[in-house]
Amino acid sequence: MSARASLLETGRNDALQRSLVPCFDAFYGAALTLIDDWSAPTRPRVLDLGSGGGLFASLVRGRLPHAHLHLIEETPAALEQSRRRFAGDPRVSFALAELEQADLAGPWDLVISSFAIHHLDHSAKRDLYGRINQVLAPGGLFISAEHVLGPTAEVESQYDRLWQAEASDLGVPAVELSRARDRLRQDHCATLGEQLMWMAEAGLADVDCAFKSWRFAVMSARHH
């Protein structure tokens, strides 16, 4: 997979990223609520797949201050942004790697991913879900905060139309919105139903969607 930027990573700062995800607070809030409700170990081991600039990881750090975070990202510039974000934090490590080839190592108590898995083709998504199941510790939690494809062309058109309107209302410049839409067209989004099915087929348990607002969804699963 060549280096690509997700919709979220098109923002030059966190404020713009918030505007590109109009439901930002509820979206990431649902992911953080899943973490709050989870029986986390005292010092959880957290893997962030396709970490981008480290925004999601930084939110998780706020909830799990004693966690060790390991961020895997394929784009050098984004990984450097993460390094700057976590400068001075000895409990954060980094790896430059593509998700298809990355050594996930493990075990991990928590695996997170935000706006990264949709870059993979569908067979690679299914393979990654299986690898995640293999590296999760017993009782471990997987959270994927992602774009999802509409189940029909008409619904997908609605998602796109409403997202553009909401992002514009939040002040996203037209040029930034156009760039984000161009990137989405090059990606391999899957429907919510497909992704939940693939997670279950990979052996993950308690597969669920905790939050959905049009094309934005927070999915989760556990390892028993």
- For the stretch 108-159, pLDDT in tens is 999 999 999 999 999 999 999 999 999 999 999 999 999 999 999 999 999 9
Residue 205: is its pLDDT beyond 90? yes
Question: What pLDDT does 11 receive?
Answer: 36
- The amino acid that residue 143 corresponds to is I
Domain map of the chain by residue range? 8-222
Q: Going by CATH, does the domain composed of 8-222 fall within 2.40.50.140?
A: no
- Residue 28 gets the label, from left (phi > 0), alpha (psi -120 to 50) or beta, of alpha
Cite the beta strand spans of 7-164 per DSSP E.
Answer: 45-49, 68-73, 92-96, 108-114, 136-147
- Return the pLDDT at 187: 85
Cα–Cα distance measured from residue 47 to residue 72, given in angstroms and rounded to the nearest whole number = 8
Q: What is the dihedral of CA 138, 143, 149, 151, to 10 degrees?
A: 50
Cα atoms in the 13 Å half-sphere on the side-chain side of 121: 3
Residues whose CB falls within 8 Å of the CB of residue 9, separated by 6 or more in sequence, listed in order: 17, 52, 53, 75, 78, 115
Q: What is the pLDDT of residue 224?
A: 75
Out of 74-83, 175-184, 190-199, 205-214, pick the least confident.
Answer: 175-184
What sign has the CA pseudo-torsion 67, 46, 186, 101? positive
pLDDT for residue 8: 47
pTM flag (> 0.85): yes
Q: Residue ranges of the alpha helices (H) in 69-191?
A: 76-85, 122-135, 153-169, 174-185
pLDDT band at 51 (very low <50, low <70, confident <90, very high): very high
- At which residue do the structure tokens 């279950």 appear? 200
Q: What pLDDT sits at residue 3? A: 39
